[in-house]
Structure 1
Amino acid sequence: MAFKYVNMADITRDPSGARRQNLTRDSAQDAPSSANGRADLITHVELFFFAYRDFTGDPDAVLAQYGFGRAHHRVLHFVHRNPGLRVANLLEILKITKQSLARVLKQLIGEGFITQRAGAEDRRERLLYATVKGTRLAEKLTALQVKRVEAALAAAGPEAEAATKRFLLAMISEEDRAQVEALVRVSPAGDKTSGENR
Protein backbone atom coordinates (compact mmCIF):
# COMPACT_ATOMS: atom_id res chain seq x y z
CA MET A 1 0.00 0.00 0.00
CA ALA A 2 1.42 3.36 -1.00
CA PHE A 3 1.35 6.26 1.39
CA LYS A 4 2.25 9.88 1.20
CA TYR A 5 5.05 11.43 3.22
CA VAL A 6 4.24 14.80 4.72
CA ASN A 7 6.41 17.44 6.30
CA MET A 8 6.49 16.75 10.04
CA ALA A 9 6.01 20.48 10.68
CA ASP A 10 2.67 20.30 8.85
CA ILE A 11 1.25 17.83 11.35
CA THR A 12 2.51 19.43 14.55
CA ARG A 13 -0.65 20.57 16.26
CA ASP A 14 -1.71 21.30 19.79
CA PRO A 15 -4.60 19.34 21.43
CA SER A 16 -7.14 21.90 20.19
CA GLY A 17 -6.22 21.11 16.59
CA ALA A 18 -4.64 24.49 15.85
CA ARG A 19 -1.17 24.71 14.34
CA ARG A 20 1.35 25.06 17.18
CA GLN A 21 3.81 27.93 16.99
CA ASN A 22 7.25 26.38 16.66
CA LEU A 23 9.12 29.54 17.58
CA THR A 24 8.95 32.13 20.32
CA ARG A 25 7.64 35.64 19.64
CA ASP A 26 11.18 36.94 19.37
CA SER A 27 12.20 34.28 16.88
CA ALA A 28 9.20 35.10 14.70
CA GLN A 29 11.03 38.31 13.82
CA ASP A 30 14.18 36.49 12.68
CA ALA A 31 15.44 36.92 9.14
CA PRO A 32 14.27 34.46 6.45
CA SER A 33 17.78 32.96 6.35
CA SER A 34 17.41 32.01 10.01
CA ALA A 35 14.06 30.38 9.29
CA ASN A 36 15.59 28.48 6.38
CA GLY A 37 18.42 27.32 8.62
CA ARG A 38 15.93 26.04 11.18
CA ALA A 39 13.97 24.24 8.47
CA ASP A 40 17.20 22.57 7.31
CA LEU A 41 17.92 21.44 10.87
CA ILE A 42 14.40 20.04 11.23
CA THR A 43 14.99 18.16 7.99
CA HIS A 44 18.13 16.66 9.54
CA VAL A 45 16.13 15.63 12.61
CA GLU A 46 13.52 13.95 10.44
CA LEU A 47 16.14 12.20 8.33
CA PHE A 48 17.71 10.97 11.55
CA PHE A 49 14.36 9.48 12.62
CA PHE A 50 13.95 7.65 9.33
CA ALA A 51 17.57 6.49 9.21
CA TYR A 52 17.26 5.12 12.76
CA ARG A 53 13.99 3.40 11.86
CA ASP A 54 15.65 1.48 9.03
CA PHE A 55 18.95 0.93 10.89
CA THR A 56 17.09 -0.76 13.74
CA GLY A 57 14.41 -2.32 11.55
CA ASP A 58 16.76 -4.90 10.03
CA PRO A 59 17.75 -6.48 13.37
CA ASP A 60 14.28 -5.92 14.88
CA ALA A 61 12.87 -8.54 12.52
CA VAL A 62 15.47 -11.09 13.69
CA LEU A 63 15.07 -10.19 17.37
CA ALA A 64 11.30 -10.69 17.14
CA GLN A 65 11.88 -14.35 16.31
CA TYR A 66 13.38 -14.76 19.79
CA GLY A 67 10.87 -12.56 21.58
CA PHE A 68 13.62 -9.97 22.09
CA GLY A 69 13.62 -6.22 21.63
CA ARG A 70 16.17 -3.46 21.21
CA ALA A 71 17.20 -3.54 24.87
CA HIS A 72 18.25 -7.19 24.43
CA HIS A 73 20.16 -6.21 21.30
CA ARG A 74 22.11 -3.45 23.04
CA VAL A 75 22.99 -5.63 26.01
CA LEU A 76 24.08 -8.53 23.81
CA HIS A 77 26.07 -6.24 21.51
CA PHE A 78 28.17 -4.65 24.24
CA VAL A 79 28.70 -7.88 26.16
CA HIS A 80 29.80 -9.63 22.97
CA ARG A 81 32.15 -6.78 22.02
CA ASN A 82 33.59 -6.49 25.55
CA PRO A 83 33.99 -9.97 27.09
CA GLY A 84 34.11 -9.83 30.88
CA LEU A 85 32.15 -6.58 31.00
CA ARG A 86 31.05 -5.69 34.52
CA VAL A 87 27.36 -5.21 35.16
CA ALA A 88 28.16 -1.78 36.65
CA ASN A 89 29.95 -0.75 33.45
CA LEU A 90 27.06 -1.98 31.32
CA LEU A 91 24.70 0.21 33.34
CA GLU A 92 26.94 3.21 32.62
CA ILE A 93 27.03 2.45 28.91
CA LEU A 94 23.30 1.95 28.47
CA LYS A 95 22.14 4.54 31.03
CA ILE A 96 19.22 2.41 32.14
CA THR A 97 17.99 1.42 35.58
CA LYS A 98 19.19 -1.67 37.42
CA GLN A 99 15.65 -3.03 37.24
CA SER A 100 15.49 -2.67 33.46
CA LEU A 101 18.87 -4.30 32.98
CA ALA A 102 18.06 -7.09 35.42
CA ARG A 103 14.93 -8.02 33.47
CA VAL A 104 16.75 -8.15 30.13
CA LEU A 105 19.82 -9.93 31.52
CA LYS A 106 17.68 -12.53 33.25
CA GLN A 107 16.10 -13.46 29.92
CA LEU A 108 19.38 -13.49 27.99
CA ILE A 109 21.08 -15.60 30.66
CA GLY A 110 18.08 -17.87 31.10
CA GLU A 111 17.91 -18.60 27.39
CA GLY A 112 21.64 -19.22 27.08
CA PHE A 113 22.80 -16.13 25.18
CA ILE A 114 24.90 -14.65 27.99
CA THR A 115 26.68 -16.18 30.95
CA GLN A 116 27.89 -14.42 34.07
CA ARG A 117 30.86 -15.29 36.23
CA ALA A 118 32.20 -14.00 39.49
CA GLY A 119 35.27 -11.76 39.34
CA ALA A 120 38.64 -13.37 40.05
CA GLU A 121 39.61 -10.76 42.65
CA ASP A 122 36.19 -9.71 43.90
CA ARG A 123 33.75 -12.62 43.96
CA ARG A 124 30.88 -10.16 44.32
CA GLU A 125 31.59 -8.76 40.88
CA ARG A 126 29.49 -10.10 38.03
CA LEU A 127 31.34 -10.36 34.73
CA LEU A 128 29.35 -10.94 31.56
CA TYR A 129 30.26 -13.04 28.53
CA ALA A 130 28.39 -13.95 25.35
CA THR A 131 27.96 -17.70 24.90
CA VAL A 132 28.49 -19.41 21.55
CA LYS A 133 24.76 -19.03 20.94
CA GLY A 134 24.89 -15.37 21.94
CA THR A 135 27.91 -14.72 19.76
CA ARG A 136 26.13 -16.16 16.71
CA LEU A 137 23.11 -13.92 17.26
CA ALA A 138 25.19 -10.82 18.02
CA GLU A 139 27.26 -11.28 14.87
CA LYS A 140 24.16 -11.85 12.75
CA LEU A 141 22.60 -8.61 14.00
CA THR A 142 25.83 -6.66 13.57
CA ALA A 143 26.27 -7.96 10.01
CA LEU A 144 22.86 -6.55 9.06
CA GLN A 145 23.70 -3.12 10.41
CA VAL A 146 27.24 -3.09 9.02
CA LYS A 147 25.83 -3.88 5.58
CA ARG A 148 23.46 -0.90 5.77
CA VAL A 149 26.15 1.48 7.06
CA GLU A 150 28.64 0.27 4.44
CA ALA A 151 26.14 0.87 1.63
CA ALA A 152 25.25 4.32 2.95
CA LEU A 153 28.89 5.39 3.26
CA ALA A 154 29.63 4.13 -0.25
CA ALA A 155 26.65 6.07 -1.62
CA ALA A 156 27.64 9.23 0.27
CA GLY A 157 31.11 9.39 -1.25
CA PRO A 158 34.77 9.07 -0.27
CA GLU A 159 34.75 11.77 2.42
CA ALA A 160 31.65 10.43 4.18
CA GLU A 161 33.34 8.06 6.63
CA ALA A 162 35.42 10.66 8.44
CA ALA A 163 32.60 13.24 8.36
CA THR A 164 30.10 10.71 9.71
CA LYS A 165 32.38 9.77 12.60
CA ARG A 166 32.84 13.41 13.51
CA PHE A 167 29.10 14.07 13.29
CA LEU A 168 28.09 11.07 15.40
CA LEU A 169 30.71 11.84 18.06
CA ALA A 170 29.53 15.45 18.17
CA MET A 171 25.95 14.23 18.76
CA ILE A 172 27.08 12.52 21.97
CA SER A 173 27.02 14.56 25.18
CA GLU A 174 30.38 16.21 25.71
CA GLU A 175 30.84 14.68 29.15
CA ASP A 176 30.39 11.16 27.69
CA ARG A 177 32.37 11.61 24.48
CA ALA A 178 35.80 10.47 25.68
CA GLN A 179 34.32 7.39 27.33
CA VAL A 180 32.44 6.47 24.15
CA GLU A 181 35.53 7.00 21.99
CA ALA A 182 37.49 4.63 24.23
CA LEU A 183 34.69 2.07 24.31
CA VAL A 184 34.15 1.88 20.56
CA ARG A 185 37.83 2.46 19.78
CA VAL A 186 37.29 5.19 17.23
CA SER A 187 40.06 5.05 14.66
CA PRO A 188 41.56 7.75 12.45
CA ALA A 189 39.83 8.23 9.09
CA GLY A 190 40.56 5.44 6.67
CA ASP A 191 41.60 2.90 9.32
CA LYS A 192 39.40 -0.13 8.69
CA THR A 193 40.74 -2.22 11.58
CA SER A 194 39.27 -0.33 14.52
CA GLY A 195 37.32 -2.50 16.92
CA GLU A 196 38.02 -5.77 15.11
CA ASN A 197 40.37 -7.21 17.71
CA ARG A 198 38.85 -6.30 21.04
Structure 2
Amino acid sequence: MTSDMPASSPISNDSLVLVRPHARYRKTYLEGFRELTNDAERTAWIYLGEAAPLDTLDGDFDAYVNTLLNREFERPPGFVCDTIYWGLVGDTVVGRIALRHELNEMLAMVGGHIGYIVRPSYRNTGMASAMLRAILDTDRARAVGRLLLTCDDGNAASERVIVRNGGIYESSVSPGSGRPAKRRFWIDVR
Protein backbone atom coordinates (compact mmCIF):
# COMPACT_ATOMS: atom_id res chain seq x y z
CA MET A 1 0.00 0.00 0.00
CA THR A 2 1.44 3.33 -1.02
CA SER A 3 -0.22 6.68 -0.64
CA ASP A 4 -0.49 9.41 -3.25
CA MET A 5 1.07 11.66 -0.63
CA PRO A 6 2.54 10.94 2.80
CA ALA A 7 0.67 12.45 5.75
CA SER A 8 3.56 14.81 6.49
CA SER A 9 3.86 16.29 2.97
CA PRO A 10 1.44 19.17 2.44
CA ILE A 11 0.23 20.27 -0.99
CA SER A 12 0.75 24.03 -1.12
CA ASN A 13 -1.61 26.36 -2.93
CA ASP A 14 -1.24 30.06 -2.02
CA SER A 15 -1.95 30.41 1.72
CA LEU A 16 -3.81 27.09 1.85
CA VAL A 17 -2.20 23.67 2.11
CA LEU A 18 -3.87 20.29 1.88
CA VAL A 19 -2.78 17.72 4.45
CA ARG A 20 -3.89 14.21 5.19
CA PRO A 21 -6.04 13.90 8.34
CA HIS A 22 -3.97 13.69 11.51
CA ALA A 23 -4.77 13.73 15.23
CA ARG A 24 -2.53 16.79 15.75
CA TYR A 25 -5.30 18.86 14.11
CA ARG A 26 -7.98 17.64 16.55
CA LYS A 27 -8.62 21.00 18.28
CA THR A 28 -8.98 23.07 15.12
CA TYR A 29 -10.94 20.32 13.33
CA LEU A 30 -13.45 20.22 16.20
CA GLU A 31 -13.69 24.03 16.19
CA GLY A 32 -14.65 23.84 12.52
CA PHE A 33 -17.23 21.15 13.29
CA ARG A 34 -18.80 23.34 16.01
CA GLU A 35 -19.30 26.16 13.47
CA LEU A 36 -21.64 23.98 11.41
CA THR A 37 -25.31 24.58 12.08
CA ASN A 38 -27.16 21.58 10.65
CA ASP A 39 -26.87 17.81 10.56
CA ALA A 40 -26.27 17.64 6.80
CA GLU A 41 -23.21 19.89 7.07
CA ARG A 42 -21.94 18.04 10.15
CA THR A 43 -22.28 14.71 8.35
CA ALA A 44 -20.39 16.13 5.33
CA TRP A 45 -17.61 17.39 7.65
CA ILE A 46 -17.26 14.01 9.43
CA TYR A 47 -17.41 12.23 6.05
CA LEU A 48 -18.36 8.75 7.20
CA GLY A 49 -21.69 8.59 5.37
CA GLU A 50 -25.24 9.48 6.23
CA ALA A 51 -25.40 6.80 8.91
CA ALA A 52 -22.46 8.31 10.83
CA PRO A 53 -23.39 9.22 14.38
CA LEU A 54 -22.74 12.89 14.94
CA ASP A 55 -21.03 12.13 18.25
CA THR A 56 -18.29 10.23 16.36
CA LEU A 57 -15.84 13.02 17.08
CA ASP A 58 -16.38 12.83 20.86
CA GLY A 59 -14.88 9.35 20.95
CA ASP A 60 -11.42 8.20 19.99
CA PHE A 61 -10.19 10.87 17.55
CA ASP A 62 -7.15 8.78 16.58
CA ALA A 63 -9.47 5.94 15.53
CA TYR A 64 -11.61 8.39 13.55
CA VAL A 65 -8.53 9.71 11.71
CA ASN A 66 -7.36 6.14 10.98
CA THR A 67 -10.80 5.34 9.55
CA LEU A 68 -10.50 8.31 7.18
CA LEU A 69 -6.98 7.35 6.12
CA ASN A 70 -7.93 3.70 5.58
CA ARG A 71 -10.69 4.68 3.14
CA GLU A 72 -7.95 5.18 0.57
CA PHE A 73 -7.34 1.43 0.50
CA GLU A 74 -10.40 -0.18 2.09
CA ARG A 75 -13.81 0.26 0.51
CA PRO A 76 -16.52 0.60 3.17
CA PRO A 77 -19.75 -1.23 2.22
CA GLY A 78 -21.71 0.90 -0.24
CA PHE A 79 -18.84 3.33 -0.76
CA VAL A 80 -15.83 3.68 -3.05
CA CYS A 81 -12.21 4.19 -2.04
CA ASP A 82 -11.25 7.82 -1.69
CA THR A 83 -8.38 10.03 -0.57
CA ILE A 84 -9.29 12.64 2.04
CA TYR A 85 -7.48 15.90 2.76
CA TRP A 86 -8.02 18.71 5.22
CA GLY A 87 -7.42 22.27 4.07
CA LEU A 88 -5.20 24.30 6.40
CA VAL A 89 -4.49 28.01 6.59
CA GLY A 90 -1.72 28.42 9.12
CA ASP A 91 -2.70 25.98 11.86
CA THR A 92 -6.45 26.20 11.19
CA VAL A 93 -8.47 23.47 9.47
CA VAL A 94 -10.69 25.43 7.07
CA GLY A 95 -12.27 22.56 5.15
CA ARG A 96 -12.37 18.95 4.01
CA ILE A 97 -12.05 17.67 0.43
CA ALA A 98 -12.16 14.10 -0.84
CA LEU A 99 -11.20 12.57 -4.17
CA ARG A 100 -13.12 9.39 -4.98
CA HIS A 101 -10.99 6.97 -6.99
CA GLU A 102 -13.95 5.65 -8.99
CA LEU A 103 -17.69 6.14 -9.30
CA ASN A 104 -20.51 3.81 -8.34
CA GLU A 105 -23.98 4.20 -9.85
CA MET A 106 -25.10 6.90 -7.40
CA LEU A 107 -21.86 8.89 -7.61
CA ALA A 108 -21.93 8.72 -11.42
CA MET A 109 -25.32 10.41 -11.34
CA VAL A 110 -25.22 12.91 -8.47
CA GLY A 111 -22.06 12.67 -6.35
CA GLY A 112 -19.06 12.87 -8.62
CA HIS A 113 -15.37 12.27 -7.94
CA ILE A 114 -14.82 15.20 -5.57
CA GLY A 115 -16.73 16.41 -2.54
CA TYR A 116 -15.78 19.30 -0.29
CA ILE A 117 -17.01 21.48 2.56
CA VAL A 118 -15.60 24.71 4.01
CA ARG A 119 -16.26 25.81 7.58
CA PRO A 120 -18.59 28.84 7.74
CA SER A 121 -16.01 31.37 8.98
CA TYR A 122 -13.91 30.70 5.85
CA ARG A 123 -16.66 30.66 3.23
CA ASN A 124 -16.54 33.25 0.45
CA THR A 125 -12.78 33.63 0.92
CA GLY A 126 -11.58 31.45 -1.97
CA MET A 127 -10.84 28.41 0.20
CA ALA A 128 -13.10 26.01 -1.75
CA SER A 129 -11.45 27.12 -5.01
CA ALA A 130 -7.98 26.73 -3.50
CA MET A 131 -8.78 23.25 -2.13
CA LEU A 132 -10.19 22.12 -5.47
CA ARG A 133 -7.25 23.60 -7.40
CA ALA A 134 -4.81 21.81 -5.07
CA ILE A 135 -6.51 18.41 -5.28
CA LEU A 136 -6.69 18.63 -9.08
CA ASP A 137 -2.90 18.89 -9.06
CA THR A 138 -2.36 15.53 -7.30
CA ASP A 139 -1.07 12.36 -8.91
CA ARG A 140 -4.27 10.63 -7.78
CA ALA A 141 -6.46 13.13 -9.69
CA ARG A 142 -4.29 12.79 -12.80
CA ALA A 143 -4.59 8.99 -12.52
CA VAL A 144 -8.39 9.30 -12.64
CA GLY A 145 -8.02 11.80 -15.49
CA ARG A 146 -11.52 12.98 -16.22
CA LEU A 147 -13.32 14.06 -13.05
CA LEU A 148 -17.04 14.54 -12.48
CA LEU A 149 -18.06 17.28 -10.05
CA THR A 150 -21.63 18.08 -9.07
CA CYS A 151 -23.43 20.77 -7.12
CA ASP A 152 -27.01 21.43 -6.15
CA ASP A 153 -28.97 23.38 -8.74
CA GLY A 154 -29.03 26.93 -7.40
CA ASN A 155 -25.77 26.63 -5.45
CA ALA A 156 -24.12 29.48 -7.34
CA ALA A 157 -21.07 29.58 -5.05
CA SER A 158 -20.17 25.93 -5.63
CA GLU A 159 -20.85 26.24 -9.35
CA ARG A 160 -18.43 29.20 -9.52
CA VAL A 161 -15.77 27.14 -7.71
CA ILE A 162 -16.15 24.29 -10.22
CA VAL A 163 -16.19 26.53 -13.32
CA ARG A 164 -13.26 28.62 -12.03
CA ASN A 165 -11.25 25.39 -11.87
CA GLY A 166 -12.06 24.31 -15.42
CA GLY A 167 -15.43 22.61 -14.98
CA ILE A 168 -17.42 22.18 -18.19
CA TYR A 169 -21.19 21.88 -17.72
CA GLU A 170 -22.67 18.63 -19.05
CA SER A 171 -26.19 18.23 -17.70
CA SER A 172 -28.61 18.51 -14.81
CA VAL A 173 -30.22 15.48 -13.20
CA SER A 174 -32.98 15.04 -10.67
CA PRO A 175 -32.15 12.38 -8.08
CA GLY A 176 -35.76 12.24 -6.86
CA SER A 177 -36.89 11.62 -3.28
CA GLY A 178 -37.34 15.37 -2.76
CA ARG A 179 -33.62 16.00 -3.18
CA PRO A 180 -32.52 19.03 -5.22
CA ALA A 181 -31.52 18.66 -8.85
CA LYS A 182 -27.78 18.34 -9.44
CA ARG A 183 -25.71 20.18 -12.02
CA ARG A 184 -22.92 18.00 -13.48
CA PHE A 185 -19.52 19.28 -14.64
CA TRP A 186 -16.38 17.57 -15.97
CA ILE A 187 -12.76 18.60 -15.44
CA ASP A 188 -10.05 16.86 -17.44
CA VAL A 189 -6.64 16.83 -15.71
CA ARG A 190 -4.88 14.27 -17.92
Q: Which TM bucket (shorter chain)?
A: under 0.3
Report the TM-score, using the length of structure 2 for normalisation.
0.26
For the pair shown, which has the larger CA radius of gyration, 1 or 2? 1
Answer 1 or 2: which has greater helix percent. Answer: 1
Give the structure, 1 or 2, with the largest relative contact order (CA under 8 Å, sep 6 or more).
2
Structure that is richer in strand per residue: 2
